[in-house]
Structure 1
Amino acid sequence: MVAVLGYVQVGFGQDAGTGAQANQKKPPVQEKNVDSKGSQTAPGQIATPSDFVIGASDVLNVNVWKEPEISQSVVVRPDGKISLPLIGELLVSGLTPVQAQTLLANKLQSILTNPQVTVTVTEIRSRMVSITGEVVKPGAYPLLVPTTILQLITNAGGLGQFANKKGIFVLRTVDGKQQRIPFNYSRVIKGEKPEQNILLYPGDTVVVP
């Protein structure tokens, strides 16, 4: 009888321990979407290359598990810094999102126990190019990968019906001075002027008259 009771007590203790472990809360697993190129993005996050670096005016979503006071959307200031409660200012310009969340987690070590931090880019404003005039979808486009004039025209849906294919140009500011770089669409697509199909820089504007 004693042996039976002892067996029941041990078994009960094991069940209780297992139940305690099962009820222990863990940080939620964030859902991710996979695009056609295999890049994973969380809801609200835009797809960025793994080597994308944060710049001024970019919008970041900072999420610290179970810390709503710190978790918020922030805009990177012109000096490359963001401000967060309990932490103060952090220089994030020039870092990848992964590097930024590591920096943030290290800063929180003295305040929180094992902080779970996620930093995602929700809006890119630091690396933008624009296209205006006779294209299907004029506007500003994020410069996530090296992009030529032809590629931007394609991204903008192609030329409009009345586009002046020989009069396209790029406006670029260098050392405070604006340059006008010609682009003859008709000759470039024929392979006659490949050197005109230059890579675009952040801040460039392609004008299609």
Structure 2
Amino acid sequence: MVRPIWCVAAGMLALTGCTPSYVSPQVRTGKAASDLIPAPTANQVGEEYVIGPRDTLNISVFNEPEISGQGVPVDAVGNVALPLIGPVHVSGMTTTQVSAQLQQLYDRFYVKPQITVLVTSSVSQRVTVQGDVMEPGVYDFRGTYTLLDAIALAKGESQNAKLREVIIIRQIGGKRMAAAFDLTRIRSGIDPDPAVLGRDVIIVGHSNTKQAWNDLLKAAPLLNVFAQF
């Protein structure tokens, strides 16, 4: 159900107590939050990065500089344009898989080409960290990251951060979904540390309620005003 910003605001302002919460009651918390955004599985840990549209690659062919390339862009549909072989679809593949594919394609022109592929810039593997952290911003990451890892990228939370109200917002099934986590419980090993995915938005709450509200308002236009939970 889509709710306008004044409904979200009313829901937040209705919460009372000594330390008012500015998390909407519709945002999942506790076990429901962990079910929505779980911790990394054993299979995910150490997984190789998967290339996505708008990434940038370095493609090196041993002893063949004329077909090697630095800063090769992956276009919007996931292709790279390469000498002799033209467009090659690489989105959804690891660098190891792309290297093997290019070796097969260039085998028509060269004897046992040795090809190395590296990701130098990634759009699909970026996380936005906002709110009460030392250095809010958009950060690149590689491999498997968790909520604690993402906050560390932003140099950690400030002294005034409300650690019991840290929100992850994610696109799931075409809808914006939000879940709130308690960093004190995660750091104590009570709750699992949820996995962070590319394009997630993380908002760290503030113990000063007015500042927390302002942070959420600033984030709202980017997040479709918390329209779908």
Name the TM-score class by shorter chain.
Answer: 0.5 to 0.7
Question: Counterpart in 1 of 2:160?
Answer: 162
Residues 1:98 and 2:72 aligned together:
no
Matching residue of 1:61: 58
The answer on whether the counterparts of 2:166 and 2:202 sit within 8 Å (CA) in structure 1 is yes
Per chain length, whose mean CA-contact separation is higher, i.e. which structure has more relative contact order (CA < 8 Å, sep 6+)?
2
Is the Cα contact below 8 Å between 2:48 and 2:143 reproduced in 1? no
Determine the structure 2 residue equivalent to 1:28.
Answer: none
Structure 1: distance between partners of 2:48 and 2:59: 19
Does the aligned pair in 1 maintain the 2:164–2:181 contact within 8 Å?
yes
Selected match of 2:74 from 64, 73, 76: 76
1:141 — aligned with what? 139
Amino acid at match of 2:54: S
User: Which has the higher Rg, Structure 1 or Structure 2?
Assistant: 1
Q: 1:114 to 1:136 in 2, by over 3 A?
A: same
Deviation track 1:106-139 (CA, whole Å, cap 9, x = no partner) reads: 2112223443322222123222222112212322
Q: Give the distance between the partners of 2:149 and 2:107, measured in 1 at CA.
A: 45
Q: Number of matched residues?
A: 159
Partner in structure 2 of residue 119 of structure 1: 117
User: CA–CA distance in 2 between the matches of 1:87 and 1:198?
Assistant: 42
| Alignment RMSD (CA, Å) | 2.5
Deviation at 1:188, TM superposition (A): 4.1
1:109–1:186 CA distance, 2 compared to 1 (3 A): closer
Deviation, structure 1 residue 187: 4.5
Classify 1:161/1:64 alpha carbon distance in 2 versus 1 (closer, same or farther; 3 Å). same
TM normalised by structure 2 equals 0.60
Could you say which residue in structure 2 is the equivalent of 1:198?
Answer: 194
Relative to 1, partners in 2 of residues 1:102 and 1:148: Cα closer, same or farther, differing over 3 Å? closer
